[in-house]
């Protein structure tokens, strides 16, 4: 297992000697050792990613990540330490309080879960959403590739707590891959120019998605792709997930919705087969567009224009 140390939150480069490969027993002992400091900024930091080494230096950035050796979950609300001990019983892990533990009467602590095997960055990218959902109430920064984490520290040892729990190593393969439907992009000039058809098609897609059940954070990007492909808005996306999303999923969180919407380009295109397959998977009603009435509307509009010309 690997752990890399950094002098401060702002130090993104560190010598390769600051990356240590050791057993979990050794690393767990280090993480549960309390250091008394006057301020949080005086605390050394660490990261459980292994990074590429260039010219004897490690750069703490997303592009240089190779593999993750364990999760560091940051809790400062929603789950007490007593509940955390019960929740993670049976897992190999370390728990330690953070610098501001007890402020405002709240438990503030971290749970470190070593993986059975290192998790390649490609797998992390696919499973990040599932990991976020698996640990509700955890600070999202816990799942950032470039995040550095403060060691066990505080101003008063009497307020500090740490513990080591024995059990199974966390198997990252249990987390589901994020499912994203395949799409293409098209320049704006290739978009449909019939406003009647666009409007009816957009309503039909929104109604079909809203009739689905059980959308989770794993499905967020696919939903956004389908909606953007028909010209729907962010408000339409929020309405769909409010109705068809799992109410216990973080797909209901404002931040999750904003991130998913921003992650997809506006000019996406998706094939009908992929669209229908995705909607059917969640038991949604098929997309139906009243083509006959639209044709009639178009004929009526052309007749009106012709009448204006012949007046």
Q: How do residues 11-39 score in pLDDT, each as one tens digit? A: 899 999 999 999 999 999 999 999 999 98
The better pLDDT of the pair 220, 197 is held by 220
Domain residue spans in the chain?
2-174, 184-305
Average pLDDT over residues 268-273: 88
Mean per-residue pLDDT over the chain, rounded:
88
Res. 136: pLDDT tops 90:
no
Q: How do residues 86-117 score in pLDDT, each as one tens digit? A: 999 999 999 999 998 988 888 999 999 999 99
Res. 63: pLDDT tops 70:
yes
137 confidence band (pLDDT: 50, 70, 90): confident
So what's the pLDDT on residue 290? Answer: 64
Q: Which of these, 180, 182, 224, lies nearest to 205 by C-alpha position?
A: 224
Q: Helix, strand, coil % (nearest 5) of the chain?
A: 45, 25, 35
- Top mean pLDDT of 140-149, 163-172, 245-254 is at 163-172
How is residue 73 written in tokens? 């979950």
Res. 190: pLDDT tops 50:
no
- The 10 Å Cβ neighbour count of residue 218 is 22
What is the spatial distance between Cα 206 and Cα 197, in angstroms, rounded to a whole number? 14
Average pLDDT over residues 132-143: 86
How is residue 175 written in tokens? 């987390």
């Amino acid at each position: 297992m690997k752990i890399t140390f950094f002098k401060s939150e702002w130090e993104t480069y560190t010598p390769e000697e600051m990356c240590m490969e050791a057993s979990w027993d050794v690393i767990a002992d280090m993480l549960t050792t309390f250091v008394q400091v006057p301020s949080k900024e005086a605390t050394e930091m660490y990261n459980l990613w292994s990074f590429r080494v260039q010219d004897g230096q490690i750069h703490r950035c997303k592009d240089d990540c190779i593999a993750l050796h364990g999760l560091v979950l940051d809790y400062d609300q929603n789950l007490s330490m007593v509940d955390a001990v019960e929740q993670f019983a049976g897992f190999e892990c370390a728990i330690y309080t953070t610098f501001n533990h007890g402020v405002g009467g709240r438990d503030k602590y971290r749970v470190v879960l070593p993986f059975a095997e290192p998790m390649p960055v490609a797998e992390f990218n696919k499973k990040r959403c599932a990991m976020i959902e698996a640990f509700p109430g955890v600070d999202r920064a816990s799942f950032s590739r470039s995040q550095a984490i403060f060691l066990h520290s505080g101003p008063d040892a009497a307020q500090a707590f740490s513990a080591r729990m024995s059990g199974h190593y966390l198997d990252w393969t249990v987390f589901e891959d994020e499912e994203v439907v395949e799409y293409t992009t098209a320049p704006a000039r290739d978009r449909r120019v019939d406003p009647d058809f666009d409007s009816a098609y957009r309503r039909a897609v929104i109604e079909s998605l809203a009739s689905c059940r059980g959308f989770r954070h794993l499905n967020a990007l696919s939903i956004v792709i389908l909606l953007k492909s028909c010209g729907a808005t962010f408000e339409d996306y929020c309405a769909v997930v409010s109705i068809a999303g799992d109410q216990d999923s973080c797909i209901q969180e404002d931040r999750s919705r904003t991130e998913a919407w921003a992650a997809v380009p506006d000019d996406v295109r998706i094939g009908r087969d992929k669209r229908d397959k995705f909607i059917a998977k969640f038991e949604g009603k098929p997309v139906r567009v009243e083509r006959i009435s639209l044709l009639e509307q178009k004929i009526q509009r052309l007749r009106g224009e012709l009448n204006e010309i012949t007046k």
